[in-house]
Amino acid sequence: METQQFFQTALARIENAAQILNISPTVIEYLKNPVRSLEVSIPVRMDNGQIKIFRGYRVQHNLAIGPAKGGIRFHPDVTMEEVKALAALMTLKCAVVGLPFGGGKGGVCCNPPELSKGELERLSRGYIKAISKIIGPDIDIPAPDVYTNPQVMAWMMDEFGLLTGYDAFAVITGKPVCLGGSLGRLEATAQGNLYVTQEVCKSLGIPLQGARVAIHGFGNAGSIAAELFHQEGAKIVAACDVRGGLYNPDGLSPREILESQRKGWHPIRGSYLISPYELLTLDCDILLPASVEGIINQNNGAQIKARLICELANGPVTPEADEILTQNKRLVIPDILANAGGVTVSYFEWVQNKTGYYWSAEEIQDRLREKMVCAFNTIFKLRSDLKISFRTAAFCTALKRLAEAMETRGWL
């Protein structure tokens, strides 16, 4: 899905929710326009001594509920339009889970695998230096995203400290634990997805024990989800990345999948090689799309056999596919709920940094479960009361909270 189309799709779903709730059109106008969009040039001295200029972006979409929150991605395809779309998604995601944040997003157009560790550090520090005047613990709190990680966050936090003259751990989340990072952050997105899936299965009467699960996208979130669902007794029947995948109707262990993936995908213990496209149409109970936007679309929507699709990635199902899946009685749990575990534990990290009191791994899991289950119950009730889809109910939930905040502030 093109990034502009991704943004327009989100706006169309917001407008649909506004009509259902009879929300003021002024709310939609606010959500159509980011509060602030910053484009910066980042000069970096490369290892060969030459200076290379990189383009960077930071967007603060809406601050009605609280300071901006959202990741920073390093990727060769990063554009301002993409960052705007993802910032809008973060506004909705924070609102649907009830976090005191607005949406933000950042990015740098670069290709990290081509950079040395020194070049990556200088780029990370240069980016934070360029956007430092619009971020802060109570203004805008970045986090990791595509091709960024705890080490990159550590460099960024340190650079912000050098610029301000003091360490503000709460300026950024997703840091290493030794620098104020939170336990449970790495697995948070997949863990939150599991909690939501468990609640859906309870409501549908689907036993998770023995349920056949297929995972499209076997990166960080997908591989951790495989481990977590496997521990709950689900049967991981298939997994893939962009290069290929593996299918075994009798189930695969996460270790077996990783072993096959490392070797470029090869059959293990009676399994079959499949393409990423074939995985989507397998006969299974639960499909976890954990790869890219628009992977389930009008071309393959009618072939989806999974009873439940729980969006682990951002925007994996297009509006056209949504209609087809609804007609075929396939239940879709939208990304703004299903993958909100990551930003939720980022919120926990921010709270711990602000208070200087750090929670145990068990406390993190308990608090995450409580947040995800509460959000699910709110959306499930609204879905039942208004006879609407899970996605529309999630957008309605987010929009109600945003509209209430705007009205209370006196913006409407």
Find the catalytic residue in 69, 84, 105, 400.
105
Q: Around Cβ 8, how many Cβ atoms within 10 Å?
A: 15
Task: Return the sign of the alpha-carbon dihedral for residues 109, 112, 113, 117.
Answer: positive
Q: Which three-class secondary structure string do you get for 42-79?
A: EEEECCCCCEEEEEEEEEEEECCCCCEEEEEEEECCCC
- Dist CA 154 CA 169 (whole Å): 9
Task: Return the sign of the alpha-carbon dihedral for residues 199, 204, 205, 210.
Answer: negative
Catalytic residue list contains 105: yes
Q: Around Cβ 79, how many Cβ atoms within 10 Å?
A: 15
What three-state secondary structure class fits 294? Answer: coil
CA-to-CA dists, residue 248 to 141, 184, 296, angstroms: 42, 30, 22
Eight-state DSSP code of residue 317: B
- Determine how β-strand 244-247 pairs with β-strand 286-289: unpaired
Enter the tokens of residue 293. 């936007």
Phi, psi (deg, nearest 5) at residue 285: -85, -40
Contacts of 118 (CB under 8 A, 6+ apart): 47
Element at 372 (helix H, strand E):
helix 361-386
List active site positions: 105
